[in-house]
Structure 1
Amino acid sequence: MLNGRIVTPAGVVDGSVAVADGLIAAVEPGDAGTDVIVPGFVDIHTHGGGGHAFTLGDAEAVRAGAAFHLGHGTTTLVASLVSSPFELMRTATAAYAPLFHEGVIAGIHFEGPYLSAVRCGAQNPAYLRDPSADEIAEVIKLGEGAVRMMTIAPERAGALDAIRQLVAAGVVAAIGHTDATWEQTRAGVAAGATVGTHVFNGMRPPHHREPGPVFGLLDAAPVVCEFIADGIHLHDGTLAFAAGVTGPARAALITDAMDAAGMADGRYELGGQAVLVADGVARLERDGAIAGSTLTMDAALRRAVGAGITLADAVTMASATPARAIGLTDRGAIAPGLRADLVVLAEDLTVKRVMRGGAWVS
């Protein structure tokens, strides 16, 4: 039994959580201490952490990086790549698929290479190109279910067909790194896109006469919008406003973390480009563009609460909503019958203990 203030879908309950056979057995009101018990975090957009990069096709680096994030409460993690040559896409898929089937990761996310050159951000412009139906089909087949999500700029030639292809294959289509108009964005949503990749970042900024992709995604009922809650990618006021527009059921906290997460400042690499990390902020050496983050999900939760989002809503954004966005219905909340992925937090919302599948993480 775990005692504390339990954040459930129905609200915060003082009491205990019972676990049996790797599942949540019951939530019972009663005496509680000062600990806060929340569902395990679900990060659907992560490029690395703890000094380990997910962008190079190295399976052991993914295993080690997943372990690093697990220590920060992320019990479900999707390994994200960046724009790269197709050979690396294929190599990484083959290398990471066994980790997916083993349960180390919840899948692979291709952030690119079918993105906008104008809004490439930290994506390597040398690798950007129009969507290829053959490339998409090959990695999906090779992954045997491991390819979970792909981010596409809907204005690129062939993008709408690519979105339809992904959806037909059971892969989540996301819109991001895009210079699309509002109309082009909504065409991508109509084609089946259901996630907005780190909304606001890597996108044409909104304008009252040209709303662009930001408004097109925030206002699209089927779309879950990712937000990087580190105070760098988004001002706290922007985060609170955007989450207020979408509601917690359509807002997903992500880290967009690179291998520098949890590491000292210094020189790193992302997609074949030099990255300098100073004061915990990662930027491309060539032009100063923000290059992912050094964020962890527990820090994202604290930031969201600090921005004025209620604890219950922030927890939904860190767990249930991202889980649902990638089709996982067996986790993401504290309710009987769901997987016992739990994080015990101190009063200041720092991590004390992590349980995954009913087992404590050492």
Structure 2
Amino acid sequence: MSSIVYVDDKADDWLASLPENVRQTFRDFDPKEEAKAAFEAASASDLWVFDFFYSDDRTQQIALDEDNGLSLFQKWRRLKLEERPPAALVSSDLESAVGSDISPGRGHILAQRASVEWVGEKSQATAEFLVGLADASNAIQKSIMAITSTDRAGDRPLNEEICLRLLNAPKESPWRTSAERQLDRARPPLLSSVSEPQAKARLLLAWLLHNVLPYPSFLISAQHAAARLGLKTESFALLSQAEANDLGRMLQAARYEGPLAASSPDKWWRAGIDDIVWGFSQGKVDYIEGLSAAAGAVPINMLDIEDPVVVSNPDLVETDEIASAKDCVRAQDEHFPPDVPPAWVKLADVRDHADLAEKVVFEDRELLNVHSQ
């Protein structure tokens, strides 16, 4: 069973509201009365969780004079250096804790600012996610120890191969090499840079939470998968749940089943989706005809959009909408990882939001002038 060390001066205010199966994962400590015991327990835990505020007073003077969850985390971090498990910051007043200039849909940026892996409001949904995060940390540690015990030192797999194993990439899939190539472009963490399994789990989970899951990468959302296949999202949703036909089984094989899969929106291996597209494109029959035959009794509804792209809102958070690239431009800000493609935003949104226009990539800025004439 995974374990969470939770530091909060009023832990029961939140924990008492949680279901027993969620609450039992948390081991809570008072930061003022049990600081030493908390740190000792933290050394063997799968996840650290800190309440931000230890006082109801939000004045600047209190912020200067008193410790809070973030300052305590920094002390623990300094003592453990890089050999620590993942950490999360929670609060019933998250805006006061970490600011309001970032959209809630981009919480990973707030976590990066605080040097933790995740931040969130105190709620049951947050608690359930944290249990999932602790479970993922625990599972990764066990997998790492299994890999270490079975692989001989002189025959140690490359970092990308270890990451593929930890992410549960299908071993026998024809697209595994493509997945490894795409994963390498996403700059996975060098797990050998730390020694403790806890720390290796943290590196992998931080990368997933901050650089991979929020963006289209070697893992893609249902909307991106549908667009690449040329399907309407409703049709893709039906097919991705169907196991009684060939296409459904192909999609099931490409579904991401690794760490955090159960706690996050569904993702698919991009290499797996592209392999399906390539296979039907090279078939003896027309692409749509091949898809329809493989779908069996499940109806196929194709997109009637030229050059479909997944649309992001003015905050650069992806939506469920798919539109034509001719009606959009690409935009990004300083928070996008270098390997991640820019978001697609609608021209209408750019005209309505001056700050969004500043984020349009250089190559597409001339399109703003063309469409404004």
TM category (shorter chain) comes to under 0.3
> Normalising by structure 1, what TM-score?
0.28
Q: TM-score, structure 2 length as denominator?
A: 0.27
Higher relative contact order (CA 8 A, sep 6+): 1
Higher strand share: 1
Q: Which is greater in Rg?
A: 2
Structure with higher helix content: 2
